[in-house]
Amino acid sequence: MSPRTNTAPGTGTWRLGDLTVNRVGFGAMRLTGTAPFDRGVPRDRERSIGVLRRAIELGVNHIDTAAFYFSATRSANELINRALAPYPKDLVITTKVWPGRDPSGGWWWATPDQLRGQVEENLRQLGRDHLDVVNLRVPPSRRTGSIGEHFGALAELRDAGLIRHLGISNVTSGQLAEARAIAPVVCVQNPYGIGELSEDLALLRLCGELGLAFVAFFAIAGSGREAGPAARDSEAVYAVARAHGVSVAQVRLAWTLQQGPHVLAIPGTGDPDHLAQNMAAGTLRLSEEEMARLTAPPDLFGPAAQA
């Protein structure tokens, strides 16, 4: 592996507990295939391994993954292990539990007692003795319910030494308060990007007040989520991209990062060119006028443009 070229550190750093990470990280979901959660065409194995190694060379020291990131013949955790072990000392690997998938790809949700098995599966696949950060990924059906029993089970695994730090994902501010009453929380990982709702912004700001990392996912994909970027963006996004000579994806990432110094992004890709663009987006600075224009409802600045 060639020496790091340190693009990611240009965005600044934040803390996940006692671990310092660059604000632009890498999401591993798209390493496994063109359609990560179905039995579609897998990505070329060596290309995915190369993307991971290039991410480290560009200064990435925060990778987000999960044992349920797999396609017909690819596993994100296995690819990370193959590409990066023995791991750089400053590399932080974050994973998620509660959702699971059986070998045929079917989804299931763990009981509190089953979370240990999910943690141990991540440990085996990654080849590690402990996990740096484990996020409790809350299912959509529980967005308004209690997460205390599940988070308490993870806190016990942290006390047992299997986990270093705990986070929560896809949550509300009330669930954040519930979790923090049980054990320390180092990050909230929620979808966030241009066009998000006011309650999402309120949670982002709350994390800033508490000194917690807010890790935004789907910052590029937006409403397209797992399928990738949505087909349409507002004309404002295209105009800002043209003004800076960058892609729409880079504008979306830059806007998200400029929401606060505690905001992190974990864009994922299996394409080395897109990886380089994502890393460069961290140094893109948008003006106050551009930020306001991108934050405003699309109809204030004209109809949405075709992608």
Reduce the secondary structure of 68-99 to three states and give it as a string.
CCECCCCEHHHHHHHHHCCCCCCCEEEEEECE
Which H or E run contains 158? Answer: helix 148-159
Find which of 56-65, 97-106, 234-243 is predicted with most confidence, using mean pLDDT: 56-65
pLDDT(10) > 90: no
Q: CA 191, 253, 21, 59 torsion: positive or negative?
A: positive
Give me the helix-helix angle, 235-244 and 288-295, nearest 10°. Answer: 150
- Let me know if domain 8-231+256-284 sits in CATH 3.30.2290.10: no
Q: How confident is the model at residue 300 (pLDDT cuts 50, 70, 90)?
A: very low
User: Strands 213-217 and 263-265, how do they pair?
Assistant: parallel
pLDDT of 164-183, one tens digit each?
Answer: 999 999 999 999 999 999 99
Nearest Cα to Cα of residue 187 among 199, 202, 204: 204
Residue 69 annotated in active site: yes
Q: What is the pTM of this model?
A: 0.90
Q: Which listed residue (69, 87, 192, 238) is catalytic? A: 69
13-47 pLDDT per residue, tens: 999 999 999 999 999 999 998 666 665 667 889 99
Question: Which residue ranges make up each domain of the chain?
Answer: 8-231+256-284
